[in-house]
Structure 1
Amino acid sequence: MASPPLPSQIVELNCKVMEEKLKSLGSEVNRHEDNLRFLKSEINAIEEACVDLAIKLGNYHSSVAAVMNNDTSAQEAEERTVRSILDQDRTAAAIICQLKLRSELASKMPLMKDILGFVATLGKVNNDNLSRLLAEYLGMDNMLALVCKTYNGVKGLEKYDKDGIIDKSSGIHGLGRSVGKLLNGRFTVFCLENLRPFSGDVNIDDPQRKLILHRPRFPGGESPAGFLDFAVNMIHLDRAHLSCLTASGHGLRETLFYSLFSHLQVYKTRSDIQRALPLINDGAVSLDGGILKPNGSFCLGDSKNLEVKFPVSLEVSSSPENILEMEGQVKLKNWEKERLLEDMKREEDLLKEVKELYSKQKQELMDYLTRPELTQAPHDSSTIPSPATPGSNPFGAKPSHKRRY
């Protein structure tokens, strides 16, 4: 014998109680998901800080190792680069380099005052592999390129007659004749004030004024394995070159070197580049010789050993006291990461538990609404709210936009 239908007031009350409980569980689900997102962002920030510290520590230890192995000093490395430029006979760089060595002669030439130097001598790196790779990436023309402060300096390098023919008795051609060198072929010149500068921010607290660039990250938030840094931030500038600014206040890093490297990424190995391909837009190089151009083409085969490379700076930029402090920061951040991972595990367990309760509560409500004594109730079903309507929040609660953790 079928049970008599329940009064509509009782049905509505029971549904309301069950739906309120369902809504509360939905809010709990949202809260735990918010907590997990917050914890993940905190872990990402710690991992990024650890990568920065690892790069600094690696640079320090590689510099110390080079000094211990009696490698050439920074001054000797720069002199070696200058000698390699002088060996590039009949080039604009060799002519200007020779004139700069003759300081008495250069001081009498107004043209020389606007020439800051050459790309190869305006920056240093702390790794010989990196020096060779960046030189190969840029090519000899760019490595030997002259760098002028203003466009007036560029105009002074060459004069033309009324037919557009180069006047070989003036400008850099005339200077070459003065030192017994005849310039042959084209040459590249960069004008600092005409280069479009980096549009982002510069880290003013960094002694090297490095560019603030966002590290590549996969959708899950993790950094690609083997990523070291952006090439533009791995160039070391001497104090004199750091103080060299354009009229608009931009330095060499955000003008010349950003123009040359843009967002070029540096990795440890070719395999690291291959795994990070979806995150690379402006090319990449790896310390084991891999080169990926910005147009997506790979440079395969044996690497070139260009005669002109960036000087390798073996100067230790951080004191041992700072190194001990950084090593302590790494330990502290790793400890913080472990605590956050434990918190994430607890939140994941709680989220799983609440989701199971939510599913169980939703099923109970559905079972209640389909009981025979309810379905027999005449014309009262329209007053019974549905536990979930199409397109509604499945948890019956608005997602929280505030961090509640």
Structure 2
Amino acid sequence: MQVDLNETSFNSREEMQNGGFSEVKSIMESSEKLQDDLRMLGMKIKQHEDSIKLLKTQKNKLDDNILDMQVLLGKYHSSSSPIENKDQFHLQSEHEITEQILRHEKSAAGILYQLKTHHGPQASHLSLTKDVMGAVATLGKVDDENLNRLFSEYLGVQTMLAIVCKTFEGVKALETFNKDGCIDKTSGLHGIAASIGRSLDGRFIVICLESLRSRLLYLFLIKILFIDDILNRVFYSFAASCRPYAGDFVADDPQRRLDLLKPRLPNGECPAGFLGFAVNMIHVDSSNLSFVTASGEGLRETLFYNMFSCLQVYRTRAEMVLALPCISEGAVSLDGGIIRSNGVFSLGTREEVDVRFPKTSIMSEELQSYNETEKRMKETRWQKEKLDEDIKRELALLNHAKFNFEIKKQDFVKFLAQSSSYATQHQFQAARR
């Protein structure tokens, strides 16, 4: 049979061309499938990451709720201590606190309370004392005995005996001066001390609630006048330490506790052993809760915030040390550790301060509220455990999706290398033809 070489050559080229198109089409389809698989795995990874982020946010909110409930319950030693143990504590009454103050006979608070003891209700109507709210130790209560000792030690006996006045007029009434600028020992507290055979020597602290804000403004004006930057920083720091709290309050809290931002470690977790802020662990009686300054601030956001600021409370000294990156304004621990400020530690044996805050008594309605809060805490902890399980499951799914993504990515890289090799070979053959 005679063969047409031209026709044979044309048919061979056509078969090779059709085969090449088919191969290219197969490569493109495989490439698209691999890319779709990678895209789907990437979407799964993003979904798992978003789910973990959302679950951790919910967990942080539950941690904050648990801490708030621990403060309300007063469970500073152990979250499982029964309430019956509280009834066995010796309740310090206001009368006992007064006796503690009276032991400091030569102190301003001791003389003031001797006046109240001798004159009774009439003493509060005297021009000297009508603006005086009392000593610091009488204006708040602390349920936990160990915390009571710790707070008293942190503040010191001078601060516990400090006299609190509503206005600056009340401060001026406690001490007057003669024409020579010397203290007039016949008027004010000095005159009261002399009348009962006592002498008021040395310094004593008086806290003016309405002056906390005005003092800040006054020092701000002074700051403007100072050219030296170091002096500016010193005065600004001093003024800031006297500011009242200007933030929000815990919602639906009859004690009007301050809604302070919880400390967070770099990983976003709340430090282990953190129990709350000292300023929120002070119980203010209903009679004092109604007091507000001319600017509208109460005792907690003026007096106690001025003394404690954002002082953090931890279960142990070891946990407090681990939380140092989160501590900027001091911390205390139930086993006696004290950090005064950032980088300033109080070491040595614990100091016993003989003037402390009184304790609150748990009434029947408070007992019911206690049980309800305890029930809510158990439910919240159960929700947190479920969230922990969900986070672990999402982490496992995320790791599995990342593993599959890496395998699929390696397959895609190999496929690209093979496709490139095929394309190079095909071009070479086409060039030869």
TM-score by length of 1: 0.84
Which residue of 29, 39, 52 corresponds with 1:36? Answer: 52
* 1:93 aligned residue: 109
- Counterpart secondary structure, 2:341: coil
- Structure 1 residue 100: deviation in Å? 2.1
Q: CA 1:251–1:82 in 2, change beyond 3 Å: closer, same or farther?
A: same
Q: How does 1:25-104 map to 2 (within 5 A)?
A: 25-59=41-75, 64-67=84-87, 69=88, 71-75=89-93, 78-101=94-117, 102-103=119-120
More relative contact order in 1 or in 2 (CA 8 Å, sep 6+)? 1
Q: CA 1:9–1:175 in 2, change beyond 3 Å: closer, same or farther?
A: farther
* 1:382 aligned residue: none
Q: Which has the larger radius of gyration?
A: 2
Q: Is 1:157 the counterpart of 2:174 in the alignment?
A: yes
Q: Is 1:275 the counterpart of 2:293 in the alignment?
A: no
Q: CA 1:317–1:197 in 2, change beyond 3 Å: closer, same or farther?
A: farther
- Structure 1 residue 28: deviation in Å? 1.7
* 1:121 aligned residue: 138
- Counterpart secondary structure, 1:190: strand
Pairwise CA RMSD of aligned residues? 2.7
Q: Is 1:143 the counterpart of 2:160 in the alignment?
A: yes
Q: Which whole-Å CA distance do the structure 2 matches of 1:344 and 1:57 have between them? A: 29
The aligned amino acid for 1:248 is S
- Counterpart secondary structure, 2:210: helix
* 1:322 aligned residue: 369
The aligned amino acid for 1:29 is I
- Counterpart secondary structure, 2:332: strand
* 2:244 aligned residue: 197
Q: CA 1:6–1:88 in 2, change beyond 3 Å: closer, same or farther?
A: farther
The aligned amino acid for 1:65 is N
For the Cα contact (< 8 Å) 2:101–2:355, is it kept in 1? yes
- Counterpart secondary structure, 2:59: helix
For the Cα contact (< 8 Å) 2:127–2:173, is it kept in 1? no
The aligned amino acid for 1:73 is L
Q: Which whole-Å CA distance do the structure 2 matches of 1:161 and 1:58 have between them? A: 50
Q: Is 1:211 the counterpart of 2:258 in the alignment?
A: yes
Q: CA 1:320–1:119 in 2, change beyond 3 Å: closer, same or farther?
A: closer
Gaps of 5+ in 1: 380-405
Gaps of 5+ in 2: 1-15, 213-242, 429-433
The aligned amino acid for 1:131 is N
* 1:184 aligned residue: 201
For the Cα contact (< 8 Å) 2:66–2:380, is it kept in 1? yes
The aligned amino acid for 1:369 is L
Q: CA 1:44–1:120 in 2, change beyond 3 Å: closer, same or farther?
A: same
CA deviation string 1:261-314 (max 9, x = no partner): 011111222222122222211111122222111142222222111121112334
For the Cα contact (< 8 Å) 2:91–2:358, is it kept in 1? no
Q: Which whole-Å CA distance do the structure 1 matches of 2:375 and 2:147 have between them? A: 28
Q: CA 1:146–1:377 in 2, change beyond 3 Å: closer, same or farther?
A: farther
The aligned amino acid for 1:239 is S
* 2:148 aligned residue: 131
Q: CA 1:199–1:107 in 2, change beyond 3 Å: closer, same or farther?
A: closer
Q: CA 1:368–1:95 in 2, change beyond 3 Å: closer, same or farther?
A: same
For the Cα contact (< 8 Å) 1:39–1:344, is it kept in 2? yes
* 1:374 aligned residue: 423
- Counterpart secondary structure, 2:248: coil
For the Cα contact (< 8 Å) 1:158–1:173, is it kept in 2? yes
- Counterpart secondary structure, 1:293: strand
Which residue of 326, 341, 358 corresponds with 1:294? Answer: 341
Q: Which whole-Å CA distance do the structure 2 matches of 1:114 and 1:97 have between them? A: 14
Q: How does 1:214-233 map to 2 (within 5 A)?
A: 214-233=261-280
* 2:282 aligned residue: 235
Q: Is 1:348 the counterpart of 2:395 in the alignment?
A: yes
Q: Which whole-Å CA distance do the structure 2 matches of 1:287 and 1:180 have between them? A: 42
Higher helix share: 2
The aligned amino acid for 2:91 is S
The aligned amino acid for 2:263 is P
- Structure 1 residue 29: deviation in Å? 0.9
Q: Which whole-Å CA distance do the structure 2 matches of 1:357 and 1:63 have between them? A: 53
Q: Which whole-Å CA distance do the structure 1 matches of 2:342 and 2:307 have between them? A: 14
The aligned amino acid for 2:407 is K
- Structure 1 residue 12: deviation in Å? 5.5
* 1:264 aligned residue: 311
Deviates more, 1:30-39 or 1:95-104: 95-104
Q: Which whole-Å CA distance do the structure 2 matches of 1:326 and 1:359 have between them? A: 49
Q: Which whole-Å CA distance do the structure 2 matches of 1:104 and 1:222 have between them? A: 52
For the Cα contact (< 8 Å) 2:74–2:143, is it kept in 1? no
CA deviation string 1:343-398 (max 9, x = no partner): 2233222212221222122222221221211345669xxxxxxxxxxxxxxxxxxx
CA deviation string 1:179-223 (max 9, x = no partner): 332211111111111222112111251111111112223233333
- Counterpart secondary structure, 1:112: coil
Q: Which whole-Å CA distance do the structure 1 matches of 2:364 and 2:259 have between them? A: 20
- Counterpart secondary structure, 1:46: helix
CA deviation string 1:228-247 (max 9, x = no partner): 22110111111111111111
Deviates more, 1:260-269 or 1:369-378: 369-378
Q: Which whole-Å CA distance do the structure 2 matches of 1:218 and 1:6 have between them? A: 61
- Structure 1 residue 63: deviation in Å? 6.2
Q: Which whole-Å CA distance do the structure 2 matches of 1:377 and 1:219 have between them? A: 56
Q: CA 1:204–1:14 in 2, change beyond 3 Å: closer, same or farther?
A: closer
- Structure 1 residue 107: deviation in Å? 4.5
Q: CA 1:104–1:285 in 2, change beyond 3 Å: closer, same or farther?
A: closer
Q: CA 1:354–1:333 in 2, change beyond 3 Å: closer, same or farther?
A: same
For the Cα contact (< 8 Å) 1:99–1:105, is it kept in 2? no
Q: Which whole-Å CA distance do the structure 1 matches of 2:353 and 2:366 have between them? A: 33
